[in-house]
Amino acid sequence: MTAQPLPPIPFLDLKAQQARLHGDVAARINAVLAHGQYILGPEVRELEAELAQFCGAKHCVTVSSGTDALTIALMAEQIGLGDAVFLPAFTYTATAEVALLLGATPVFVDVDPRTFQIDLAHLESRIQQVRAAGRLRPRAIIGVDLFGQPADWPALAALATREALFTLDDCAQSFGASLNGARLGTQADATATSFFPSKPLGGYGDGGALFTQSDERATLYKSLRTHGEGATRYQVERIGMNGRLDTLQAAVLLSKLTIFEAELARREQIAQIYDRELGNLLTTPARVPNSRSAWAVYAVLFPTHEAREAAKDALGTAQIGHAIYYPRALHEQPAYAAAHDGTSLPVAEGLGPRILALPIHPDLTDDQALRVTAVLRQALSA
């Protein structure tokens, strides 16, 4: 009798999550349809209060995407032409593109070879390099909490204070993570996050939020997300954008927030299975000290590009989802060639050919996680 093939393992299983939440999500969406306030409705205000309480921030301002959150944060600081914005070279393009869109220049910094977070020593040297050259004004540091783990915010904040720089936490992949016992959201001057569907707390479309302890910044963010309006709709005080969160997305996120803690705990359990089963074969993720990851991505490093490709092929044959975050560092991308000053960033440049992300989501079972590791073990022993 021929054995039946095992069912595929998706990289992300939003259908399973939706099935668990179907009744509550439907009720919340129906409530929005009943009151008809589709833009900045009551669910938006409720969500902002819940999110601020969750991470201990004084203010939360929801917006239309994580990218718009980054953009609004820089707009509020009037960062633009002639300004240098320092950021890690190994991250998603949104972190860097917002600086260019506002006329500023992204200055790429290498990353730590184990945590993939921004390299503090190299950041400091890059700031001094830019100051010495005199062509750009150092204005801001964007620290990225990559893959679910926090950057070293105490050290980044101390450096920013010494250098009089604005700090922006790109927490798009890491909402729910904590550092030194505190949720991310208050460690920088402003924190931006994303509710893209694949994120640990994801909507059914685009969405994002900004967090700040500053009353003045929160007021600016609310104005900038709504075309720069003032006290009334047609009082235009500044140039803004259309960056509001839809009420329907807020309703979905309010539902997902009710199970978010349990989902974070489940992601940690899966990460521990991978650690145990793969730790003697591959370079598994190093933990940032005194932190808890949100585990948006569980990325392993292979010894060689060839070993990674063989494992990727084996996972594909077994119908196991996987992804490469990221194939190339940002400064190696064509879009940033003109902005980059040519500095070599060897760690960021070396990660792309060897990195691979494995399935990690709350509906992944232990047996499925063990299937993933078994396929990798076989591929590595071939």
Residue with tokens 């370079």: 283
Q: Which of 358, 277, 268 is nearest to 312 (CA)?
A: 358
Structure tokens at 311: 């494992």
Torsion of CA 38, 42, 43, 49, to 10 degrees: 140
Q: Where are the alpha helices (DSSP H) in the chain?
A: 14-35, 42-55, 66-76, 93-101, 120-133, 153-163, 215-224, 247-257, 260-278, 305-317, 346-351, 366-381
Check whether 174 has a pLDDT greater than 60. yes
Convert the pLDDT of each residue in 14-68 to its tens digit.
Answer: 999 999 999 999 999 999 999 999 999 999 999 999 999 999 999 999 999 999 9
Q: Does domain 16-257 have CATH number 3.40.50.360?
A: no
pLDDT average, residue stretch 354-375: 98
- All CATH 3.90.1150.10 domain ranges of the chain, comma separated, are 259-381
- pLDDT on residue 334: 97
Q: Which fold has domain 259-381?
A: Aspartate Aminotransferase, domain 1 (3.90.1150)
Sign of the alpha-carbon dihedral angle for 38, 40, 46, 47: positive
Rounded CA separation 52/50 (Å): 6
From residue 243, alpha-carbon distances to 68, 208, 210 in Å are: 6, 9, 12
Residue with tokens 């989802």: 321
Residue 1's pLDDT band, with cuts at 50, 70 and 90, is: low
- pLDDT on residue 5: 81
Convert the pLDDT of each residue in 336-348 to its tens digit.
Answer: 999 999 999 999 9
- All CATH 3.40.640.10 domain ranges of the chain, comma separated, are 16-257
**Helix H or strand E encompassing 208:** strand 208-212
End-to-end CA distance of the chain: 27
What average pLDDT does the structure give for the chain? Answer: 97
